[in-house]
A and B are shown apart, each in its own frame.
Chain A
């Protein structure tokens, strides 16, 4: 198992550009999440999904969109990049269906908007 794979690892965007952060897991997990972490801060939940075709907003969803067409993939879309979106983004998955499940994190995507 590769676990949770995020791409790219690093990216620099200009203001107003768009991009998609990719997240793929091969563990057949139902639950997937996107977090952002600003320098020196904790993790903030952007969006999450409890299964293919179902997504929900987290704490900080503005400026982002997600889709979940398959169990494996949970891409995060930035349509009009802003400097406030400079952050490190983490994707997480777990089996769900109960509370006693371990979560697996990707290694993160460092995004800088200039």
Chain B
């Protein structure tokens, strides 16, 4: 199963871009990279996902390297409400289908 590695914590100034890295060096050719975040103990919230090309939506941008071994989630203008744990996930295949396996995530703290 492809695993992901993320820094434990990061800080960002309010209004600046937050760049969250993720390594997934064992990713397979047909596996997608997903990003979720979790604020306090609420249910995780979907942010964005991608396969090869860079993706952008109203929440964030996802930059995937050409060899697909790493990616970066970009929050272009971080706010205090973006303080959360961010999970980078690679979709894996189990014996009976697909499952999502989470790592420890990155605690992003946005400072005023």
Residues on A lying within 8 angstroms of B by beta carbon are 4, 31, 33, 35, 37, 41-45, 48, 50, 54, 56, 58-59, 88, 90, 92, 96, 99-100, 102-108, 110
* Residues A103 and B100 in contact in the complex (CB < 8 Å), given A90-B43, A90-B44: yes
Shortest Cβ distance from residue A7 to the other chain B in the assembled complex, whole angstroms: 13
Known: A56-B99, A100-B49. 12 other contacts (CB 8 A): A4-B43, A31-B97, A37-B41, A50-B96, A50-B98, A56-B94, A58-B99, A96-B97, A99-B31, A103-B46, A107-B43, A110-B41
The reply to whether A99 and B30 contact each other, CB–CB distance below 8 Å, is yes
A33–B100 CB distance below 8 A: yes
Q: Is the CB of B97 within 8 A of A44?
A: no
Q: Which of B11-19, B63-71, B102-110 contacts A (4 or more CB under 8 A)?
A: B102-110
Number of A-B contacts defined by CB within 8 Å: 68
Instruction: Specify which chain B residues have a CB less than 8 angstroms from the CB of A44 in the assembled complex.
Output: 102
The answer to whether A41 and B100 have CB atoms under 8 Å apart is no
A108 to B45, CA, bound (A): 12
Choice from B32, B43, B95, B104 contacting A100 with Cβ under 8 Å: B32
CB-CB nearest in chain A for B85: A42
Contact of A107 (CB < 8 Å), options: B42, B85, B96, B102: B42
- B99's partner among A37, A45, A54 (CB-CB below 8 A) is A45
Cα A100 to Cα B36 with chains together (Å): 15
Q: Which residues of A contact B46 (CB under 8 A)?
A: 102-104
Q: Please, which residues of chain A bring their CB within 8 A of the CB of B42?
A: 107-108
Task: Provide the residues of chain B in CB contact with A105, threshold 8 Å.
Answer: 43-45
* Cβ contact within 8 Å between B101 and A45: yes
List, sorted by A's number, 22 A–B pairs whose CB atoms are closer than 8 Å: A4-B43, A33-B99, A41-B104, A42-B87, A42-B102, A42-B103, A42-B104, A43-B87, A45-B100, A48-B94, A88-B41, A90-B43, A90-B44, A99-B30, A99-B32, A99-B98, A102-B46, A103-B46, A103-B100, A105-B43, A105-B45, A107-B42
